[in-house]
Structure 1
Amino acid sequence: MVVTILVTTLGFDADLILRELSKSLDIKHIICFSLWVDEASFKRVQSAFNTIKFFVEKLGGKAELRYFVMGKGLIRSILNELEKIASEAKDVIVMNLTGGPRLLVVATIIALLMLDSRFAEKIILSVEGETFEGSLEISLKLMKSLLRLDDDSEKIFRTILIRGRMTASEVSRETGIPKSTTYKKLRELAQMGLLILVGKEKGEEYSINPELSMVLF
């Protein structure tokens, strides 16, 4: 996975972002999202950004600060910015949601979920532990697919998540969903990338996509 762009929510602390940058020195462009609250607070945000910018430029990269104003239109403004970044990006974008005020983080998540699917497949969501080692990463495309599931698909997915590898017959028996519907839903879930087909020599079995297993188990 080639990552050259890091988009991140930023508050008063540069340390969390510097830690992320130190893990991937291939990142050549960082865009920091911040929230304008008042002049005094924004000076602290700018101070944190200047530290990040110094580090990135020393490595030959580019750092930009984009700020948004609280109130009506916040999510639309973030969505517009995300669409612009994604439309211009040639490689994978990591969207780090560790830093910054909760209001900005939640508004950014909502904007990400509204992002067009052709852009969503370029984006990986990332969250780091603030006072401990640990991280969570998930493809935005997969997350959007999870949230779009109908009742039958959700029941099938949850059953396989709990039980592990299962054939269509086993899923139908466990969920009480007719076999014809089960087969159809399993193939749809596989096409979305939420399930993978395994063990063909023993009959078709379905399992959770390993990328999701890292997050859900």
Structure 2
Amino acid sequence: MSNNKPLVPGPAASIHIARRGLMLVLSSPSGAGKTTIARRLLEMDADLHLSVSVTTRQRRPGEVHGRDYSFISNEEFGLMVNRQELLEHAKVFDHYYGTPREAVEKRLSSGQDVLFDIDWQGTQQLRQRAESDLVSVFILPPSTADLERRLHSRAQDSPEVVAKRMSKAADEISHWAEYDYIVINDDVEQCLMKVYAILQAERLKRHRGLGLVDFVKQLREGR
């Protein structure tokens, strides 16, 4: 009797096809959960990197300069705008926010994905400048009452600021149709999984696969 065992094929070698990175934008009215979803996505996926915005507002408790935001003066912000160093910028609740151009473009060119936690104004500007790289997701609250409850429960703002954010929410929500995807955050875990599925699918879009032409050519040639 032969002692030879049938050959069992081992796991196939992972095939890496070069691709251009994408810009994943999350927007929502304040308090609807986009920042929570963004942080969870970054924990789940090492290939996703946060775009660190510059802002003129004061640092909140627990925020770290250079990790959550780069906190700069109004004068510094104005210089960055004049030098065209920002991909997008906007004024939100009396403070300025913007996305530094150079760091984002380096990541996209090297095939890395960049996550943005920005509002509809910034998203419009990104679409004008880099529509083919953009994937936009708008996160809606399940109800207005739930949105107000979340704003009060996070205890970051005074009642006056909460009222101001609620009055602005209707205007922010009115821009929902400008986004590629809409996700209702009635359950954080389900919302997170839906956004992550969007990211995975968008990574496979044909136009992002810079190495696909050569790979398919090799297949057709029998290699």
Q: Which TM class, normalised by the smaller chain length?
A: 0.3 to 0.5
Bigger relative CO (Cα 8 Å, ≥ 6 apart)? 2
Q: Which has the larger radius of gyration?
A: 2
Provide TM-score, normalisation by structure 2.
Answer: 0.33
Provide TM-score, normalisation by structure 1.
Answer: 0.34
